[in-house]
Amino acid sequence: MKSRFQGMRALATGVAAGAMTAFLGGAALAEDLVGQPTPGAIDLQPGVTPLRHDAIFFHNMILMPIITAITLFVAALLIWCIVRYNKRANPVPARWSHNTVVEVVWTLVPVLILVFISIFSFKLLFAYHDMPKPYMTVKATGYQWYWGYELPDQKIPEFVSNILPEDQAKAKGVPYRLAATEPLVVPVNKVVRVLVTGADVIHAFAVPSFGIITDAVPGRVNETWFKVEKVGTYYGQCRELCGVDHAFMPIEVRVVTQPEFDAWVASKGGGKPAPTPTTLSAAATPAGAPNAAAAGQPAAATAPENPAAPAAASTAKPAAPAATTTQPAPQAPAAH
């Protein structure tokens, strides 16, 4: 009986070693692509943002070892019980039914494991919500079944991003169902705030290489952020089942240098980021006119309402400004 148990233990050890070898060998053979899925790969997509690096560390260095240890421990217990306490090996069963030490252990150990995991989990969750000061804001609106992007800081109105047709994708050598007709362009090493909403049903804005996924809910604006460390093209998709063409809502983000981004903004008819309310108030006050304090009105109260209006001492009705600092609510285009 002892030799049989040792033989099964050796077999289990061999199976575990073989599985680990296959796991590491498969990971080594598949060279991961950056920004898109890798055929045959079994690992997470490589990250290009601090959030993604932290999420990969949490998964690979915290969760996977704990899950693997628990799985192997439970499997070993099952094998031991099957071999040691079957009817043939143990024809007369024991008559006890409780063990206080064992019951305390199997209650406290899972609690301690969860507390240990929560330390890293809460730290990562806090990082996702602790957005640094953003360089720019992107409003991403999900439609059935395409995306609309607006860059209010650069004064770029909403433009539509559809799936790139299959023949064009093959001609350009880009992945079909991931490449888009109008990619979102952002500068490298800049904090980008993304305001996500939906126009019809619930969608989800997700880019795996950035480590972000945010629901696009009609009537609600959710917020996320990223800071890409490398220039390149990164793909994502809608991650919420949103209808018959859910699989045809790609997200393509092109990360470029600052001069290239400025050139792209100019090609879209945009401009420099909008000035702050303080700058607008100072620019709106003509030379020699009384300041806001002399007029009896605080500057902060008048600047946001009509930055282009003259000082409050003027009696004439101010003309409507040629352009405002905020864009009207985007509407879904009639055709795309």
SS3 label, residue 198:
strand
Of 33 and 298, more confident? 33
Sole residue written with tokens 């620019």: 283
By C-alpha distance, which of 264, 245, 35 is closest to 142?
Answer: 245
Alpha helices, DSSP H, located in the chain: 2-29, 50-57, 64-84, 100-129, 166-172, 258-267, 277-284, 299-302
Judge: domain 38-92+99-130, CATH 1.10.287.90: yes
Give the separation between CA 242 and CA 206, rounded to whole angstroms.
14
Task: Report pLDDT digits (tens) over 135-184.
Answer: 999 999 999 999 999 999 999 999 999 999 999 999 999 999 999 999 99
Between 306 and 157, the higher pLDDT residue:
157
Distance, in Å, from the CA atom of 256 to the CA atom of 168, rounded to the nearest integer, reads 22
User: Rounded to two decimals, what is the model's pTM?
Assistant: 0.69
pLDDT digits (tens, 9 = 90+) for 261-293: 999 999 998 776 655 443 444 444 444 444 433
With a CB cutoff of 8 Å and minimum separation 6, the contacts of 210 are 47, 48, 49, 51, 52, 226, 228, 234, 236, 253
**Who's near 327: CB < 8 A, 6+ residues apart?**
150, 152, 155, 157, 158
Instruction: Determine the 3-state secondary structure of 212 from DSSP.
Output: strand
- Mean pLDDT, residues 88-93 taken together: 83
Class of domain 136-268: mainly beta
Q: Which of 45, 264, 51, 67 is nearest to 149 (CA)?
A: 264
Q: What is the mean pLDDT of residues 296-319?
A: 38
Mean of pLDDT over the chain: 80
Numbered ranges of CATH 2.60.40.420 in the chain:
136-268
Confidence category of residue 84, pLDDT binned at 50, 70, 90: confident
Where do you find CATH 1.10.287.90 in the chain? 38-92+99-130
d(CA 153, CA 148): 16
Q: Over 50: is that where the pLDDT of 296 sits?
A: no
Give the confidence band of 93 by pLDDT, cuts at 50, 70, 90.
confident
User: Cβ neighbours of residue 179 under 8 Å, at least 6 residues apart?
Assistant: 163, 164, 169, 172, 235, 250, 252
pLDDT at 166: 94
